[in-house]
Every structure is written in C-alpha cells, then in structure tokens.
Structure 1
Amino acid sequence: MNVSPFRRVAIGAVASLSLALTACSGGSTGSAPELGDKPVTIRATWWGADTRAELTNEAIAAFEKKHPNIKVKGEYKDWGGYWDALATTTAAKDSPDVVQMDELYLASYADRGALYDLGEAEKIVNTSQFDDAALATGQIGGTQYALPIGVGVMSVVVNTDLFKKYGVDLPDDTTWTWDDYARIGKELTDKSGGKIHGVADAPGFDAGSLKYWARQDGGELFGEDGNVSLKPESLADMWKYGLDLISSKASVKASTMVEDQTAGITASSFATGKAAMTGKAYNTQITALQEATGANLKLLQLPRVGDTKANFFKPSMYWAVSSQSKHPAEAAAFVDFMLNDQAAADVLKTERGIPANKEMLQHLQAGLTGSDKAAAEYLNAVTPGKAPVVTPNGGSGIEPMLQRYSQEVYFKKTSPQAAAKAFIKELQAEIDAAG
C-alpha cells in the first residue's frame, strides 16, 4: 500500500513531530505580501538530476542579479529522497520557502495547510499568460496553491521508419478510432511476420490513460468532491480492449508489458524498435524516445470517441510556496521570475517541460528544434478539455495500484468487471483513510 508523504512521516522516525498546520488555510495571512529591500535569504527545493541543478542554479543567479537583496539557497534530491525530506521538514516546521510540487502530492500538502495561497500574491505573481485549464491543474477547491512549470498532453508516438519499412500508411489522427488503432497495430505485426509488434502497450499501466478512457466515456476519474467517480464499466471496457490487443497480437505480450514497466521508457519495446506505436506517452517524452530509438518519430493525437475533448493538460511539475515561509513575498517573486521572466526561460528552456506560460513558449519556440519543436507544435495542435480534478489526498498510490490490477486482468487471473469494482473500492478506501 502506498501512503502519502505525511503518513510516511507519522510512521517513521519523526512520528513524534506534530503537523500543527492550520487546516485548509493555505497559509493565508489575510493581507497581500509586499516586497521589501532588506536582505533576505530563502530556500528553494526541487527533485532532479545534476543537469537540472546546474540550470536551476544558473537561473537562481539571474534572479539574484535582478533582486540583489534576495539570496536563494537551492536544494535538490532524487525523486524518492525528495518526498521523504519534504515531508520531514514540513512536519518539523522547517519547510523550504519554495517547493517543486507534483500533481500526485499537491492535494496532500494543500489539504493540510502546508502550501501558501498564491492568490494573495497576485500583485507579485503574474498568471495572465497561463490558460485557465493549465491554472486549474494547480488549484484545490478553487484556491491556487501551485503554478504549473510545464504542461504536456497525451499522445500516440509512432516510429515512422517501421511504418515505411512494412508498408503501412500512417493514420489520419484527426479522425481515427480505437478500432483503427487495433487494426493498424495488427497490420504492422502481420506484415513484419512477427518481427515487431504494432503496439507496445495496452491501456491501464498509467493514470493518464485511465483518465483519458474515463473522459472519452463522458466521465472522470475523480469528482469535484475528491471521491472516485470512475464508472466501473469504463474501466472494464478499457481492459477488455487491452485484452483484445494482446490476443490479436497487435500488441506485445502482457509479460513484455510488465518487463517494460521495470525497464523504463528508454528501454521499452517501443524505444528498442520492437514495436511501432506506443499509446500512453505525453508529448514531452518524445525527446527521450527519439534519443533511445534513433528513428524518425511522429506525435499523433489519441483515437477518440465522437467529439469528446478527452485530452487534458498534465503539469510536468509545479512551483509552490510553503505556508511556513517567513518571506512569502520574496518566495512569490522567485516563482514569478522562474515562470515569467525571459532570462529564466533562456536558461531553463524545456528542461522541465514545454512552458505552461504561453508568452515564454512563444519566446522560445523560434529556437526549438527536433523533438522539442515537435512537442511544442503538438501541444498547440491539441484542444484539451476541462482540467481533471487534482489527485485527492490519499490517491497518490494510484499508479502502482492500477498496474497491479492491470496485470491481474492481462494475465487472466481476474475478469475486467471484477477487477474494476475491486480497484475502485480500494482506491476510494485509500482516499477515505487519508481524509
């Protein structure tokens, strides 16, 4: 069972620390923060590798040049260590002033009052260049607790070299259906004589594909009340479709899908040229896939049902301000600089994803090449629907849970109908337990 970062702290060595946070206050002060000219030091934390740290520190230097009275101490860790450290420092009331936040944990921190209401800093943080749907990805209960750094949208990535090699035409991605997707996948497998498979995966191993299938069926994964609103029949139909892909050999075997999960995106069947299409990628992942395959790749819109706008903005990550910050104005100024200043954009470019700020994207777009350019053009071509409800507190373990049930279905240990009911029940129980 996956637990929220706060619940891990309660279980671990710092169980005695109290999360004495004002519930649902978001660190509200009741008045707008104001920038001063006295020397101030703030801390900013993020997860990522050394390359991200180098670029971020370069952007920090540019910020300090613009705001000479504000010093920023940067801290970074890998993904796993980051959340443990953030939970520990938050529980100890020693959270960094600025935190890089992920969609899976946003509600966990916001619901406990650990994040600052950025609406109070509207005179400092400019949000005019963000789509409403993008801004909504950082809102809990209508309060703007975080701002998306970059955004992505779901896509099908195709290896056009394999399509050409086996004489299969690329589909019209403005009109194709899931039946077309399955048919083309089987055609690729058959024409290659089984040397490759048309499709590298079946839906159900990631939360993004689950959200898409729910939305194209007129539903949502989570409702506005934070509870699971997914219809069991939508989930069961998704798994039935995946079973058909496997049985027809349009896709790789279920065991290969599981191996690909462990191998990671750059060592998957698609990345190694053993399959011609992958249907669970975000547009921003094309760069990593391009480097891994060494092939010509193309982004296609996902098949859809009718005119439903099932696609959605997925924030790559956010910047947020801690409610524990003693310098919310300076922290907000740093967030504003990182998202809205060309000096920061020129340094960071697309390292954290295609910029959610439309003005910064336009500023960078002329200089984008290759896969970055393709990802940006695809983002502009897709019309997302309403932003999905942010993963509620207690729901951060959805992907390993979903993968477990998908494996049971695809290995034919459980029926799609039974697995759908059990998955929804278990996910709701996790949310109830966290509330």
Structure 2
Amino acid sequence: MKGKKIQLLIKIMIPAVIIGAGFGGYKILNDRAERSFNKTVVVNDSEASYIDENDSSLEILSKEAFGDVEGFSGNYGFINDNEVLIGIGLSKEEFFEKYPDEIDKTDDDLFWQQQDDQYGKLYVYNLKDSSKRLLNTKVRDMFSDSALSLSKYAYINGDNVSIFDIVKNSEVGHIDGDVFKNYDYEDFLEPESSMWSKDGSTLISYDNENLVLYNVEENSIKKIKVDNGERHVSILPSYYSEDGKEVYFVGTRYKKNIGSQGIYKINVDTESIEEVFSLPYVDHSKHDYSKYSGIQSNDYCVLDDGKRIIFNGTIEGIDGTYIYNMEEEKFYNVIPNKVKSERGSYSSTIWVSPDKTKVVYMDLVKEEGEEQWNLYAANINGNNLTNRICIYNNIKQSRLGIKWSSDSKKIIFFTTDSFTTKNYISIADKNEVNIITFK
C-alpha cells in the first residue's frame, strides 16, 4: 500500500463512539437546496408518539453462550442457520509470543505483517461442531461489508476488486480497481470503503468526486457526480440502498467555516440529488461546540419505505439516537444519552433487523457509580422504540459485531470478560459465541 498505514476498519463497531468536534476528518457534502434550519423540531423520548396500540411484546425464546473462538477478530454475520463468516488471526498466546515487544511502526513490512497476524483471514465457522473452513481472504483486504443474504463479499485482489461467493467457494465477479481508487489519498484501494445494497445487487463506493455503483448481475458500472466544489460526500462509507436504484448517504453543505450535515438521496436513473434532512448549521470559526449538530457514524437505516430514518447524532448539543419523520419534519430522540460520561460525548451503536421491525442497541448506564455498556432490544414502532428489554449486562467486547439472521429472528455476537494488553495492543482473553433468538 505504498507505505501508507490506514487504520484497519472492520464492520464491527466499538460500542462507545466518542464524538469529534468538527468536520475536519470528514469529506463533506453540499446540496443546492436552501432551507431554514431555525425551525428544527426535536421531540424528547417521553413525548414521542406511539402509532401502533397493538404493538406485540418483544420476547426472547432462547439465549445460548458457548465456545471460545481463539484469535477471533471480527463477526461478519450468518451465512445460514449453522454457519457464520468471521475473521480469525493468531491466538492471544501465539500473537504475544511472536511480538513480545512493541514493533517499529516505521517498518512497513513488519507493521502489515502484525496487522495480518492480529486480524487474520476469513473463515466459515460452523456453530454446531466449531469446525472452520478457510476462505484465504485477509480481513484487511475486505473491500466492503458482506452481503450474506446472497452469501458474497468483495475483497481487494492485487490492484483490483473481486466478488467472492461463499456457497460456490469461488469468484463470481471482477472489477478494475481504478474505478474505486480514491485519489485524494494515494493511488491504491482503501479497505472497507464500499457497501452493498441490501439486496446484494449493487456495490456502492466513492472515487473522490463520484459515487460509483457496480451492478453485479449486469457487470456494469455507473458513476454519479456529487462533488461540484461546494458539494462533497461526508462520512465514508455511509451509503444505504435497498436495491441500488436509490442511494442514501451522509453529507454536508459547507461554505467557509459554516457547515450543515444531513442525509441525502440520489435517484440513480435521473442522477438527481435530494435533501432528506439537514441539521442546524455549525460555525466552526467560533470553536464553540455546545450547540454542535452532526451525524456521528454510518449507523443509520431507512425505515417505512423512506418515511423515517433512524441515526446516531447530536442536535444542538444533545446526543442521542434519533428517528426522523419526513412527513412531520421532526426528530424524535428515542435513545437519549442519559449518562454524562467521564470520557466525553458518545453515541450508541445500533443494529436494525432486516425486516426493520426491531433494533438492538448499546446504552451507557451507571451501576454502583461505575460506567458500563448494556445491550438492549426493542421494537421499532413509528416514531419510537417500544417494549425495550435488556438482553446483556456489562458487555466488554470491543469487537462485539452484532449481526442479524436474514429472517430477523436471531442475533449473533461475541463477548469476553477481560483483555490482555501489551505494547498498546489489547486481545480478548476469551471469545464466547452468543446467540439470542426472538419470538
């Protein structure tokens, strides 16, 4: 990778996302539409409406916790009822035996070798007998999230991108890497810089000025220009699409020191860009972020055929997880951050079920004066979350990586009680498989 050390990004989110103060680390987007942001309406959780009085209770049918997957580095989700796609590197003992001292990070070869040893390769892991099947793809070569509804993923293969089918155990697509290279950085492909449409038909990425859409079945590529000097994509990657025909992304209108972040939608056929919502402007020249507004991660989901969006964000200094109602033009703070953390501002990671009826989320609580992260599940009910239940107390696994089954009935994640830390690297002492089945 020509000497550039990229922080390895894996689609297993760290529960506590500490919020930065500005847009400096982001690419930014402007939209030509003009709106007044003095009328932003935020509805607190206690005031949010419940549109379905017959909302059924959320019940757990079973909880399973078993095994210890040595070297576990990432959870990419269910392939079927009995198999999951995971990353496996060296075990804790093997890793610290090979690297007893802190490595010289100016040594590129050694740095990337350590990354490969820690994060390893992709495996198909059998939940019944704990057997593993090596796929021979490095975790750090993952070019996208996985489209496990169709059992495939994209990975960096030399200077190009390949599509791999897990069931067929073979490549099913090949793309010239020049299509995806981000020339703002260097002339190479960046890991985890693309996302699949939910139906697995389209791989969505960015090349500095354009959204790039690769249609797998048609083996075709389309580029849509979004950067016009004042308009840029914001968080990379932050794409959401059901079928590749409409693509949502996080972006910002930005002029000089004033920026307004929001979510936008592109019609792929017409290439028109529509503002879904924008948050209040932030004047970064004042360096006063008490009224900061921004979207804090690419964890968002479009609900009810585009009528609502759930996302993590801050609106005028208030952190939380919000549902935006497009018809009402109101923001509902459905997971308000009630604990004032000693570490500063934070957002809670969310995982929405494929059928959009349920969500699993992290929330920070205090028990006997100590901060801890608990795992909750709830029904998504209009502008609110209902029937909330705590499904796991005091989760410590930073690579939790919750994944839903395709039928929205199960989640799988990996936990540990403790870590061993040496030379600024922490490795879990145990990687226990957890499966929760909902009614």
TM-score, normalised on structure 1? 0.25
Higher relative contact order (CA 8 A, sep 6+): 1
TM-score, normalised on structure 2? 0.25
Whichever structure has more strand as a proportion of its residues is: 2
